[in-house]
A and B are shown apart, each in its own frame.
Chain A
Amino acid sequence: MSISRRDFLKRSVLTGGALSVLSTTQLKGFTKHPIGWKGNQRVSEIASICEMCFWRCGILGNVDKYGKILKIDGNPEHPLTHGRLCARGNAGHKLTYDPDRLKYPLMRVGKRGEGKFKRVSWDEALDFFAEKLLKIKKEYGPEAVGYFPHGIQARFFHQVMTAFGTPNSVEPAFAQCRGPRDVGYKLTFGNNIGSPEPLDFEHTDLMVFIGSHIGENVFTGQVLQYAEALERGAKLIVVDPRFSDAAAKADYWLPIKPGTDTSLLLAWMHVLIFEGHYDKEYIDNNAIGFDQLKEHVKDFTPKWAAKITELPESLIIKTARLMGKCSPKVALHPGRHVTWYGDDSQRSRAMALVTALLGSYGRKGGIYLSSKIPAPKFPSSHHKPKVKRADGAGTKYPFASKGLGVTNGLIDATLNEDPYPIKGWVVYSQNVLESIPETYKTKEAIDKLDLMVVVDVMPVEQILYADLVLPEATFLERYDDLYTVKNAKIPFAAIRQPIIDPLFETKPGWWIAKEMAKRLDLKDLFPWDTMEEYFDHRLSGLNTTLKQMQAKGIAMHSKGTPYYDFSKPVKFKTESGKIELYSKKLLREGFSPMPEYTPIDEVPTGYFRLIYGRSPVHTFARSQNNEILNSYQSENDLWLNNKVAEDLGLLDGEYVKLENQDGVISNKIKVNATPGIRADAVYMVHGFGHNSKRMRKAHGKGVSDTQLMTRVKVDPISGGTGMRVNFVRIVKNGNPIMLSGAFSFLPNFEGEGEEELKYVEDPKRVKAKRKIKKVKKKEVKVEKKELKRKVIELKEVETEEEEDEGC
């Protein structure tokens, strides 16, 4: 630069006019301290709970003198995790310090999808929100607002939306995750499984996973118990088309043909019953419908299932016998994400029935029972909405949870304005474009809205379509509702408390909800001023206060043993008060009372079935921009059978694209040619392939499985969206590539050969007609009492499910 100092000075002199104007500027960024001030000395360790995923393990946040979170440790006081913490939890503070996080309330300026926003004040934002919402209420009724929440922290918003008058609250935790499982187990045992799954790994002799890939799918407490069980010598059976980390640790790996699990379960039941391995006493005393079940499974032989599942008959028999041998100390994992093929409630039922036959439910070493925690809520004068739900929960999908709802049902309702128009969406901590399949439908539905509000921490793609974006403080900067864990042997309550003050103008969810309530004429909805007041009320049942709890973060509530006491008659919460092997409830709604195997659509020639799962370093599509976690896994890869890869001329590590059955083409993805997967399926970790161009870390890395899911098969019982019904073919250099005609694949299962069933009773001679008649007579009686019972049950369902956590 050729400017002399003189020039500089000369120009500088000319500053009088503008400067005298500008000199009036008032800045308030700093506080001045008197001489001798030594600066901040804050160094502390604060107990809280994690939110890098939905398991909410105990954490300790270490804060340095600069007010910065230096490190997150596990909280040794936590009764399930004992101070241990997974990779995501260890990297949790990187979320707080992610430069991309939402910082101020934003209002849309341009068109939807254009991404033009301006920062506004909280007052402006909340006034706008209330005005729009009240307008929708006036024009269409309060039910025209749909609410998409996630997790325990959503409860305050839930209260607001309910009091506002909409019944339409939907979480993917149900219809995209564990809905069918909850339905299947509830129909059988009267209880859904809940969170965390109450598997008694501590005492089990055998763990059975069907698709569950613990280790890659991480809940610290569960992995810990699982690993300790392995060390103790517990056996492990893993049913998975893929050689997962759990499969590698298993005594038996059953690489099943995807979608045929129900036939395997039926064959297992066949062996358990006809070889006499089932727990006769348990079944006789506690279950109804055994004879029907026996009749039902008599033709479902291992031989029959072997053909369908493409597993050796001997392997099916051996594993069933092992289960029988270990009965009742068998922990059959009910699964978590189970919306696979559209027959998922029935498959879950089949799993529940195997558990029942083994006598494992409510028994040591099997599935233990959950307890209650006395955590009173503030009484509310607001009534539950009376309008019927738009998502089909309870009507179109008779067994769907009314607490969690059916996301896809509400999207359909918005799109078709059927049964009534939905004009506003309030999305809290949920990613409607990444977690719900058939994205194109979701986008079309958004187009129909008058208002879309997103409350979130990170700018995920859906904010492009939002009219208003409200930035929530991260989990390390806020209080949330009390976290009560009933599915622990010693139930406990844990608090989330701020480790640092919220950065920028982000606010905790409870504050946002409270402010919303004020503006929606629901002032008395939150009759407390501070979180201390709120917590002290909720903790009163546990005889503690927020202050007392703050140091450890945990309050235990010990209560009895988590197993049934069979010395007295046990009453299950089903219609009959017994374990229902045969479900009249299902029959009444027109479904098969006992699980049946429904053949799935075969993989079209040239295609592979797309299956997906979890990674231990990421949570859904939420953590890919985390600096540390991204450095461990920045993209997903495509598991492809090595022989298939060889035939296709693909090398391990090379990049290809995928095209699904509807012509949707993916980003590029790296081939992982491995003998650890069947030839008819490809596998990838869910949550990658972020679409946006400028995403600093996550953009364009790997493939989004959700984008390739242009089809779903809806489970008519639960409303869950079966997502493993999509097929992909491999595209290289722009052209799809096909297997050569010469390719054949005949797996040779080492050590498997002939295995004869040792029948204690000949299935051909099973006659159950007499008993069925008896049941039919009873049915009439039962139906008379039906109405009353239904009302009672509904109430129960609602209180229970409100407590449910997300997935």
Chain B
Amino acid sequence: MRYAMVIDLRKCVGCDACTVACRTEWEVPIGHSRTVVSHSGAIGEFPNVYSTNFVAQCNHCDEPTCVPPCPTGATFQEKNGIVQVDTDLCIGCGYCVEACPYDARYINPETNKVDKCDFCAERLDVGLQPACATTCIANAKYFGDLEDRNSIVYKKVFEEGAWRNENENAAIGPNVYYLGTKNQLEIVKAKFGPRKARLATPAQMWKDILRPFIFGAIGVTFVGQAIAFFNQLRNGEEPIDD
């Protein structure tokens, strides 16, 4: 089981139906988004121009750079590939936000926790598709199990050659794939490619983590967080030297 999404930019009309559906499904506060539609605008010289729309969201990468920096283990990856945030553990430190080369995460100002696309895991549980794919008025978003040879995403990725938005900044196996014309993918590479992950230094992280100890606020929640954190250390997910 490996969930993946394929977005056909040749069909996408850039109408924002998906992003609004996502917003109302998950009550994403205005000013923030789990998924964003961008328009490149016309490129070239009149009348020889081309353009593309682009849809961005969490890529649920094969090697997510957002998981290791999480000091509490709140961000983790499920076996089906979905990168999840356990909001009970999240302390809103924002390391993962910086670490995501696709800027797919934000801190929700109402909860002070990190939030992002989770492929609508709750909808998947009850047999629905992600809200964005369900509502897409151009049927440009395909979702399914990449390991299932009969799935539409398998067909789009392995038979039609859907493309991964990777570059020299980040090649971490994004599981949102794109189909597009040559021109469209060129624009995506030039304008919407991933940035370099910004990782917090270990010293900085320790300071931030230890701060609650220093202020003596050892609540039950924090103990949980600490345990999760030390578990993570023990599992050797990310070596952090003091």
Partner-B contacts on A (CB < 8 A): 70-74, 81, 83-87, 89-91, 93, 214-216, 218, 220, 223-224, 226-228, 230-231, 243, 245, 248-249, 253, 255, 616-617, 627-629, 631-632, 641-643, 672, 674-679, 747-750
- Chain B residues positioned under 8 Å from A230 (CB to CB): 10-11
> In the complex, are the beta carbons of B43 and A224 less than 8 A apart?
no
Question: At the interface, yes or no: B93 with Cβ under 8 Å from chain A?
Answer: no
> In the complex, are the beta carbons of B42 and A675 less than 8 A apart?
yes
Question: At the interface, yes or no: B216 with Cβ under 8 Å from chain A?
Answer: no
Binary interface encoding of chain B residues 125-168 relative to chain A, with 1 for a CB under 8 A from any of its CBs, else 0 = 00000000011111110000000000000000000000000000
> In the complex where A91-B24, A616-B15, A632-B20 touch, is A223 in contact with B41 (Cβ < 8 A)?
no
Question: At the interface, yes or no: B13 with Cβ under 8 Å from chain A?
Answer: yes
- Chain A residues positioned under 8 Å from B14 (CB to CB): 215, 245, 616
> In the complex where A245-B53, A748-B48 touch, is A227 in contact with B13 (Cβ < 8 A)?
yes
CB distance from A95 to the nearest CB of B (A): 13
CB distance from A231 to the nearest CB of B (A): 6
Residue of B nearest to A226 (CB): B138
> In the complex, are the beta carbons of A220 and B137 less than 8 A apart?
yes
Question: At the interface, yes or no: B19 with Cβ under 8 Å from chain A?
Answer: yes
Chain A CB count within 10 A is highest, among B11, B17, B25, B31, for B17
> In the complex, are the beta carbons of A224 and B134 less than 8 A apart?
no
> In the complex, are the beta carbons of B30 and A627 less than 8 A apart?
yes
> Which listed residue (A218, A617, A628, A674) contacts B30, Cβ 8 A?
A628
> In the complex, are the beta carbons of B43 and A675 less than 8 A apart?
yes
- Chain A residues positioned under 8 Å from B13 (CB to CB): 214-216, 218, 223, 227, 245, 616
- Chain B residues positioned under 8 Å from A643 (CB to CB): 46
> Which listed residue (A87, A249, A679) contacts B17, Cβ 8 A?
A87
> In the complex, are the beta carbons of A676 and B51 less than 8 A apart?
yes
> In the complex where A87-B20, A676-B41 touch, is A243 in contact with B15 (Cβ < 8 A)?
no
Where chain A touches its partner, the secondary structure class is mixed
- Chain B residues positioned under 8 Å from A678 (CB to CB): 46
> In the complex, are the beta carbons of B51 and A248 less than 8 A apart?
yes
We find that the number of chain B residues with CB closer than 8 angstroms to chain A is 36
- Chain A residues positioned under 8 Å from B46 (CB to CB): 255, 641-643, 675-679, 747
> In the complex, are the beta carbons of B20 and A223 less than 8 A apart?
no
- Chain B residues positioned under 8 Å from A223 (CB to CB): 13, 15, 137-138
CB distance from A86 to the nearest CB of B (A): 5
Residue of B nearest to A248 (CB): B51
* Whole-angstrom CA separation of A800 from B13 in the bound complex: 34
CB distance from B22 to the nearest CB of A (A): 9
> In the complex, are the beta carbons of B31 and A85 less than 8 A apart?
no
Question: At the interface, yes or no: B49 with Cβ under 8 Å from chain A?
Answer: yes
* Whole-angstrom CA separation of A222 from B53 in the bound complex: 19
Closest 9 A/B residue pairs (Cβ)? A676-B42, A215-B13, A616-B15, A227-B138, A227-B11, A90-B20, A87-B20, A675-B46, A87-B16
* Whole-angstrom CA separation of A549 from B49 in the bound complex: 49
- Chain B residues positioned under 8 Å from A216 (CB to CB): 13, 15
- Chain B residues positioned under 8 Å from A93 (CB to CB): 24
> Which listed residue (A84, A629, A631, A748) contacts B135, Cβ 8 A?
A84
> In the complex where A223-B13, A616-B16, A627-B30 touch, is A676 in contact with B137 (Cβ < 8 A)?
no
Question: At the interface, yes or no: B115 with Cβ under 8 Å from chain A?
Answer: no
Chain B CB count within 10 A is highest, among A90, A641, A642, for A90
Residue of A nearest to B138 (CB): A227
Residue of B nearest to A218 (CB): B15
> In the complex, are the beta carbons of A87 and B15 less than 8 A apart?
yes
> In the complex, are the beta carbons of A86 and B51 less than 8 A apart?
no
Can you list 20 contacts pairing A with B, beta carbon distance less than 8 Å? A81-B137, A84-B17, A85-B17, A86-B17, A87-B15, A90-B24, A215-B138, A216-B13, A224-B137, A224-B139, A243-B47, A245-B14, A248-B42, A253-B47, A616-B16, A617-B15, A617-B20, A632-B16, A675-B44, A747-B47
